[in-house]
Chain A
Amino acid sequence: MRITADTTVCISAGMCALTAPGVFDQGDDDGLVAVLLSEPSEELREAAAEAVRLCPSGALDIG
């Protein structure tokens, strides 16, 4: 599993950081997605995948 984020698409909704706080964060000034763990460990994978599904803007990709 490898997670990528497109900050040009991100709308700073914060759904990812709310759903998988160990994997995603929001920039202080712009709220844009920051990927903390692009290859999350086993126990974080379910939450990370859920965060990708919930992203309203389609900024996150999982490969």
Chain B
Amino acid sequence: MSRTTAPDSRSFPLQRQCPFAPPPEYERLRAEEPVSKARLPTGGTAWLVTRYEDVRTVLSSPVFSADGTRPGFPALLQGQAQVLQRPPFIRMDPPQHSFYRRMLIQEFTLKRIKTMRPGIQATVNGLLDDMLATTPPVDLVEAFALPVSSLVICQLLGVPYDDHEFFQSRSKVGVSGESTAEQFATALGELRAYMDGLITRKQQEPGDDLLSKLVTEQLEPAGELRRDELLMMCLMLLNAGHETTANMISLGTVALLEHPDQLAALQENPELLPDTIEELLRYLSIADLVTARIAAEDTELSGTRIRAGEGVIALLAAADWDPGVFPEPERLDVHRGNRHHVAFGYGVHQCLGQNLARVELEIVFSTLFRRIPTLRVAVPVDELPYKHGNLAYGIHALPVTW
């Protein structure tokens, strides 16, 4: 069976109504039109995929390519085409993708991440000490969520945290659906120049960090990594490391405060912490829009014909709210005990930093509510500035009091 939909009937990204639920249209699409065409903000169209099994298929089958240089690769942000000309390795297919990913994996294994726990705990403690010494209301994004994630990734990479205002402000432009192509290009140019300077400093004075290690062992002529490749790799790690985790911290905090019974269950039984993190990852699925692919050959998905060269977006939040896989998906349930969500993606591109993110979130949510048991959002939750249209969903600012 083959279905067609007028491509101009639906524009992507679809609109959310409740800030903590995926766009309501996902539910209808999943039931009636699981593979459906939509118009992209950058022009052109792509197929939206909304069923859990189809999303896993798209993300794990070589029929769906992640190669950002293929003509017609779906771009969601103005100016993104510039990045896709020379993309970071997350927009490549194996074997190139595997070549780069393997350079980094040693720093992201479960055992390596475990050694980072005491440092992350000390960072979280210090930031909460500082926050508690001020007078509320305080912006939790500025005072806690962004510094936690930025400090951790800066330390791992060897990026000076003192530069955080510089790279955070430019990264913000790079992930915002509101940036123009010119703003995007300027921010990217500044970030490239910054990272280029940092690589030179690491060549002169290598330290005990990932960037120094890559410069010493992998960069030409000692290794096989070109300077521009290293540069994009580091920018990608820096961005992915601070932006996504910060969004999970701020949104996760509000989600738990909005579900006091679930927060109470967690506080009564700290062993629920790992399951709580998995459930928050599923429930929020902040990287909903990130997983773009392009069909490498003609294929069929849930009865819909997809032709070679057509863009495909595997919607992570749609998959993670598929009621056939997660009954009553709208219920935040810390007892759900499921890890088969696709919040970190699936297939060979599944998030490299997922276990670091898990540890950061475990430490954050076990410490935050213990240290500040009376924490509450200082404004109506519906009025918070949510990051609609951003590559990673989140909150720009989160005023809290206690």
Contacts and interface: CB of A to CB of B under 8 A. Distances in A.
Contacts of B345: 56
Interface residues of B, number: 19
B111 A58 contact: no
SS class of chain B's interface: helix, strand, loop or mixed? helix
B350 A18 contact: no
Interface in A12-63: 12-15, 17-19, 26-31, 50, 53-54, 56-58
B352 to A, nearest CB: 8
A28 B109 contact: yes
Interface stretch (B97-105, B292-300, B364-372): B97-105
A28 B111 contact: yes
A52 to B, nearest CB: 12
Contacts of B108: 12, 14, 31
- Binding site secondary structure of chain A: loop
Interface residues of A, number: 20
Contacts, number: 52
A54 B339 contact: yes
B278 to A, nearest CB: 10
Contacts of B346: 56
Contacts of B348: 11, 56-57
B148 to A, nearest CB: 22
A19 to B, nearest CB: 6
B340 interface: yes
Given A18-B110, A26-B111, A53 B350 contact: no
B304 interface: no
| 8 interchain residue pairs of minimum CB distance | A56-B350, A31-B109, A31-B105, A12-B105, A14-B110, A26-B109, A11-B348, A56-B346
Given A19-B339, A58-B60, A11 B109 contact: no
A58 B56 CA distance: 12
